Structures are given as structure tokens and as C-alpha cells.
Amino acid sequence: MNFSSPPESDDILAYRRRITGKTWILAGLTGAGFALFGLWNWTLGIFFGLCVGMINFFLLARQTARLAARAASAEKSKGVMVTGHWMRYLLIGTVTFLVYKKSTISFPAFLVGMMLVYLAIFVDAFQLRFKSGPAQES
């Protein structure tokens, strides 16, 4: 069994770089805003949530690349894919539960940090939509 990631195309790598860059910019602005007002538990919550969100994003991207490679080669190894899928959810769920129950950082800020990745994806899609011009109706 090969557990390494398949080689990614330049388009996928460029997309991951764009999303990563936008996410760190959004996190820096958000965290700096809370730090400016001395809300350090919120700043730490955003940073920690961002780290968990980025790990989730990279694991999901790697899993998607593996799924595409397996679909292209018609390999039928579903057990490893399903196990990886559930392990990712278990990891994210466990960390979220521990932050909620045991941590001194702000739980809402942790959730905001996790969602910054999705906000960056939305911003990227919005920019690409208007960069290519308005949609042509047929």
C-alpha cells in the first residue's frame, strides 16, 4: 500500500498557495485587531483555530488528490480512503472538543479561526469570478 501523496499538478499547488496566503492575511488582520484591544485569549483562539483549519484543509486536499489518482487508475482501495476520512473528522472533532472543555482560549474565536480558511476560499472564488468578467448567457 502506498500512503504517500500523488504528485500534484501545478494548478492544484497554485490554488493551495493562493488559499494559504489569503488565509494568513485574513488571520493576521483578525488576530491583530483583537491583540490591539488586548484580547489575547481571542487572538490565541483565532491562531489555534487557524492552525486546525489549515491542517483540515491540507488533509482534505491531499485526500482529494489521492481520490482523483485512484479514480484515474481505477484502483478500488476504498477502505484506506474511508479510514482517512473518518480519522480527519475524529482529529478535528477531538481538538474542537478539548478546546471547548479544557482550554482557556476563546471557543468562539477558535471557531472563527477555523472558518477563516473557508472565508479565504470564498474570497478567492469571488476574485476569480470578477477577474474573468461577467458570465455570458447562452
* Model confidence pLDDT, tens digit, residues 103-132: 788 899 899 888 888 888 888 888 888 876
Q: How far apart are CA 2 and CA 5, in angstroms?
A: 8
- Residue 122 burial (CB < 10 Å; 0-12/13-18/19+)? exposed
* Model confidence pLDDT, tens digit, residues 43-68: 888 888 988 998 888 888 777 777 77
Q: Would you state the pLDDT for residue 5? A: 47
Whether 77 contacts 1, CB under 8 Å: yes
Q: Does the predicted TM-score (pTM) go above 0.75?
A: no
- Half-sphere exposure in the Cβ direction for 20 (13 Å, CA): 13
Q: Would you state the pLDDT for residue 68? A: 72
